[in-house]
A and B are shown apart, each in its own frame.
Chain A
Amino acid sequence: MTSASQTADPKSARDHARAMAGMRAAAMPTLPASAARDLPPGVAGGDMLWEETIAAGGYASRQLSRGSRLRLVDLEGDACVSLLVFNAERPVERLNIADTLKVQWTGYLGEGRLLLSDMGRVLASLVEDTSEGHDGFCGASNQASNARKYGDGFNHGAHPNARDRFTLGVAKFGLGRRDIHPCLNLFKPVRVAQGGEAMVEIGPHPPGRHVTLRAEMDLIVVLANCPHVLDPRPEYGSTSVRASAWRGPVTPPDDPIRNATPEGQRAFLNVDDYYAR
Chain B
Amino acid sequence: MPTPPPLSGAIVHDEVVAARAPWIHRVNQGQTLRIVDLEGNQAVDFLMYAAEDDAERYSAQDTIAAQRNIFLREGSTLLSNEGRPMMRVSATAVAYHDTIGGACSCESNTLRYGHHTKSQHACVDNFLVANATQGRGKRDMVSNVNWFMNVPVEADGALGIVDGISAPGLYVDLEALMDVTVVVSNCPQINNPCNGFNPTPVRMIVAG
Contact surface of A with B, Cβ cutoff 8 Å: 92, 96-99, 101-103, 105-108, 116, 118-121, 137-140, 142-145, 163, 176-183, 191-192, 194-199, 229-230, 263-264, 266-267, 270
Contacts and interface: CB of A to CB of B under 8 A. Distances in A.
Contact of B157 (A98, A106, A139): A106
Nearest to A133: B157
A197 B68 contact: yes
B153 A192 contact: yes
B91 interface: no
30 contacts: A99-B105, A101-B159, A102-B100, A102-B112, A102-B160, A102-B161, A105-B159, A106-B159, A116-B111, A118-B108, A118-B138, A120-B106, A120-B110, A121-B107, A137-B61, A137-B65, A137-B70, A139-B60, A139-B61, A142-B82, A163-B81, A182-B61, A191-B157, A196-B71, A196-B96, A199-B68, A229-B65, A263-B112, A266-B111, A270-B107
Assign chain B's interface to a size class.
Answer: 35 or more
A22 to B, nearest CB: 42
Contacts of A98: 60, 100-103, 143-144
Contacts of A163: 81-82
Nearest to B118: A120
A177 B49 CA distance: 13
A178 B103 CA distance: 18
Contacts, number: 139
Interface of B: 55, 59-62, 64-65, 68-71, 81-84, 96, 100-103, 105-112, 114-115, 124, 137-144, 151, 153, 155, 157-161
Contacts of A118: 105, 107-108, 124, 138, 141
A145 B110 contact: no
A139 B62 contact: yes
Contact of B160 (A105, A176, A177): A105
Contacts of B102: 96-99, 102
A179 B55 CA distance: 9
Given A96-B143, A107-B159, A177-B55, 18 more contacts: A92-B137, A99-B111, A103-B112, A105-B160, A118-B105, A118-B124, A120-B106, A120-B110, A140-B61, A144-B84, A178-B55, A182-B61, A182-B142, A192-B153, A195-B71, A198-B65, A199-B68, A270-B111
